[in-house]
């Protein structure tokens, strides 16, 4: 083997590693909001396997946060900071879950409680105690959603807080503005009545409508103060709502603690 061959092989290897892990990105400031969906092992036939993180990996990620000085906070902490009442800890991070699956209760909640961490769940009101009805079961098997007793137990524990993720998980951009407004206002009202807590946070299903001025205006008019997008990244903090919704950091199934670190520090873990 020639020196030239070894040098080019080393260069190619470094390039591949750099595409896989975006260690070369600059460290960026901003609010760190992690997004998870399902904690468990994907069922056969799932085409959205990336949205499943195993309990072992989730536990290891929460333990990593604790060990590296990160402080997990709740929506109410974010609201107080946004209103200037109490600043966030320097290394604050929000752990969020979209949709409200039963596995958030049976796995995530128990792991968070055990490790002294906090989490936040965006709930789809009409699927509480049912299944993920908005998915076609041929492409994404139906799994159980948390029921009301589980949601209440999590809220009362102080470990988990909730936000709205609409009534039925529609693509808000495909609805009439009137129907979209109903999804936004009705879910806020129903969730507040069911959980006895103010719903100040909202996440757009599929991220749809987050950048549609009319849909977003409707979300803010419904009374949500903190709205979260589906866009990968960190949002400058203090946050100016006029600049758009709050971006989030998606944790995928194959990702480890190095990815988690790159998400938190640089706003992305990979080139692609």
Taking the complex as a whole, how short is the minimal distance between the CB of residue 199 and Zn ion, in angstroms?
Answer: 16
227 binds Zn ion (CB under 5 A): no
Among residues 53 and 262, whose Cβ is nearest to Zn ion? 53
Identify which of residues 98 and 259 has a Cβ nearer to Zn ion in the complex.
98
Q: Which among 117, 103, 116 is positioned nearest to 34, based on CA atoms?
A: 117
* Residue number with CB closer to Zn ion (98 or 255): 98
Nearest-angstrom CA–CA distance, 197 and 104: 19
Q: Which stretch binds Zn ion (CB under 5 A): 22-30, 98-106, 186-194, 245-253?
A: 98-106
d(CA 140, CA 129): 18
> Residue 61 and residue 272: Cα distance in Å, rounded?
22
The nearer residue to Zn ion, 97 or 109, going by C-beta atoms, is 97
CB of 223 to Zn ion, least distance (A): 20
Q: How far is the CB of 95 from Zn ion (least distance, A)?
A: 16
Considering the complex, what minimum distance in angstroms separates the CB of residue 14 from Zn ion?
37
Figure out which of the listed residues 100, 163, 170, 205 binds Zn ion, where binding follows CB under 5 A. 205
Instruction: Please report how close the Cβ of residue 205 comes to Zn ion at its closest, in angstroms.
Output: 5
CB of 182 vs Zn ion, minimal distance in Å:
18
Count of residues that interact with Zn ion, criterion CB under 5 A: 3
Compute the least distance from the CB of residue 186 to Zn ion, in Å: 17
Range in contact with Zn ion (rule: CB under 5 A) among 61-69, 99-107, 183-191, 233-241: 99-107
Beta-strand runs (E) in 76-221: 92-99, 119-123, 160-164, 201-203
Which of 72-80, 93-101, 152-160, 192-200 is the region at the interface with Zn ion (rule: CB under 5 A)?
Answer: 93-101
Check binding of 99 to Zn ion (CB under 5 A).
yes
Q: Give the total residue count for the chain.
A: 272
| Cβ neighbours for 173, distance < 8 A, ≥ 6 positions apart | 180, 208, 209, 212, 215
DSSP strands (E only) in the chain: 33-36, 38-39, 52-53, 71-72, 92-99, 119-123, 160-164, 201-203, 226-232, 246-250
87 phi/psi in degrees, rounded to 5: -70, 155
Q: What is the SS3 assignment for 42?
A: coil
Q: How far is 69 from 115, CA to CA, in rounded Å?
A: 13
Q: Which is nearer to Zn ion, 65 or 160 (CB)?
A: 160
* Alpha helices per DSSP H over 68-122: 75-82, 102-103, 110-114
**Near Zn ion by CB under 5 A: residue from 31, 75, 98, 159:** 98
Residues that bind Zn ion (CB under 5 A): 98-99, 205
């Amino acid at each position: 083997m020639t020196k030239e061959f070894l040098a080019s092989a080393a260069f190619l290897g470094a390039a591949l590693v750099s595409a896989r892990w975006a260690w070369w990105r600059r460290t960026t400031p901003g609010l760190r909001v992690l997004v998870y969906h399902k904690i468990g092992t994907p069922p056969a036939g799932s085409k959205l396997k990336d949205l499943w993180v195993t309990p072992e990996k989730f536990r290891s990620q929460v333990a990593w946060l604790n060990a590296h000085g990160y402080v997990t906070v709740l929506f109410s902490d974010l609201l107080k900071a946004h209103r200037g009442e109490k600043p966030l800890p320097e290394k604050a991070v929000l752990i969020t879950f979209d949709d409200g699956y039963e596995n958030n209760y049976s796995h995530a909640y128990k792991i968070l409680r055990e490790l002294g961490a906090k989490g936040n769940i965006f709930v789809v009101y009409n699927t509480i105690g049912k299944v993920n009805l908005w998915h076609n079961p041929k492409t994404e098997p139906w799994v159980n959603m948390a029921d009301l007793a589980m949601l209440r137990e999590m809220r009362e524990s102080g470990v988990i807080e909730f936000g709205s993720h609409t009534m039925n998980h529609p693509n808000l951009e495909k609805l009439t503005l009137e129907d979209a407004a109903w999804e936004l206002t009705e879910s806020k009202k129903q969730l507040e009545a069911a959980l006895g807590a103010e719903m100040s946070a909202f996440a757009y299903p599929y991220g749809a409508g987050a950048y549609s001025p009319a849909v977003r205006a409707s979300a803010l008019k419904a009374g949500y103060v903190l709205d979260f997008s589906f866009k990968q990244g960190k949002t400058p903090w203090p946050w100016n709502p006029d600049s758009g919704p709050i971006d989030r950091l998606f944790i995928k199934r194959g990702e480890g603690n190095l990815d988690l670190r790159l998400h938190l520090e640089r706003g992305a873990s990979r080139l692609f």
